[in-house]
Amino acid sequence: MKTPVHFLALLLALCSVTFATDPYTEAGFPAADREWTAADYTKASELIQQKKLPLPTLRKDDSSALFWRMANSLNFDRLGNKELPYETRLETYRTYAKALQSIYDAYLTELKSGASVGTEIDHLVAAMLYLTRHLVLITEDQLSKIPRARLTPETLDSLKKTKAAIAEQFFVVDRLLDEKYASKDRSYTVLLNATEDCLRTASNALSDEARADLHRRFEIRHGEFQNLKNKIILGSIVTSLLPTQKLWREMGMAGPSLWP
């Protein structure tokens, strides 16, 4: 019996769908259905810098899953493995951080040129904050093993730079809350929730000067925002930044900090 022509056409159409691959996979991006390693982030960063494809966004069916994977903080959970040597965890963090910063810079360039990637920016900075939280925990794990009397000048200088890098992530949040980068479809809630969450871990790693400066900046943002939900979160952030850790300790309301 002859196969109907319309059935053959349908079969061919199904086959074309089955064997089709999205352009990002063809370009070599890591798979979106698994956790990414630091090497995966480096690969994605390199491909994004080549600009052969549009940036993955939440609005595009062929790249939304890829973006969700790229901004998923669960990718960094391997940094919490205390069985790994400190140097290995720190170097892996640095690889993640370098690649994620490069990816963020690409999106920020698009945002400044007028592209509607504000929500994507918020998710990427949230991921950067959760990555920074891992840096805090990695550093505190190491500090807990070293008596303060044995901290060398080189170690103290390295810790000073680490504290500055941690504080900078929260200053990035403040800059993104500036209205000149705002877009009407941007809620900022993801970004603010991540900020509030990560401050709980990173608070002790901030210097008194950084805390005071961040408190002042976020207090200004709190006054600027009209969205009630965001004002509540910002209010919590402002409260968490004062009084300073030094004052908390003087009042006997905080335990000893690992950070010198």
Q: Which of 140, 127, 43 is nearest to 90 (CA)?
A: 140
Q: What gap in Å lies between CA 174 and CA 14, rounded to an integer?
A: 50
- What lies within 8 Å, CB to CB, of 104 at 6+ separation is 121, 124, 125, 128
Q: One digit per residue, pLDDT tens: the chain, 260 residues? A: 554 556 556 545 555 444 457 899 999 999 999 999 999 999 999 999 999 999 999 998 889 999 999 999 999 999 999 999 999 999 999 999 999 999 999 999 998 898 989 999 999 999 999 999 999 999 999 999 988 889 999 999 999 999 999 999 999 999 988 865 556 567 899 999 999 999 989 988 998 899 999 999 999 999 888 888 989 999 999 988 876 666 666 666 555 678 88
Angle at 210 between CA 208 and CA 213, to 5 degrees: 110
Looking from the CA of 99 toward its CB, the CA atoms found within 13 Å total 23
d(CA 130, CA 146) in angstroms, rounded, equals: 25
Cα–Cα nearest to 260, from 156, 171, 176, 165: 156
The torsion of the CA quartet 230, 231, 232, 235, rounded to 10 degrees, works out to 120
Q: DSSP of 144-184, one letter per residue?
A: TTS-GGG--HHHHHHHHHHHHHHHHHHHHHHHHTSGGG--T
Question: Residue 148 has what pLDDT?
Answer: 86
Q: Quick one: residue 206, left, alpha or beta (phi over 0 = left, psi -120 to 50 = alpha)? A: beta
Q: CA neighbours within 13 Å on the CB side: how many for 79?
A: 26
**Contact assessment for residue 106 and residue 70, using Cβ atoms and an 8 Å cutoff:** no
Amino acid identity, residue 161? K
User: Any residues with CB less than 8 A from the CB of 33 and at least 6 apart, and which?
Assistant: 65, 69
Instruction: Give the pLDDT score at 253.
Output: 57
Nearest to 48 by CA among 129, 123, 108: 108
Amino acid 182: pLDDT: 56
pLDDT the model gives residue 110: 94
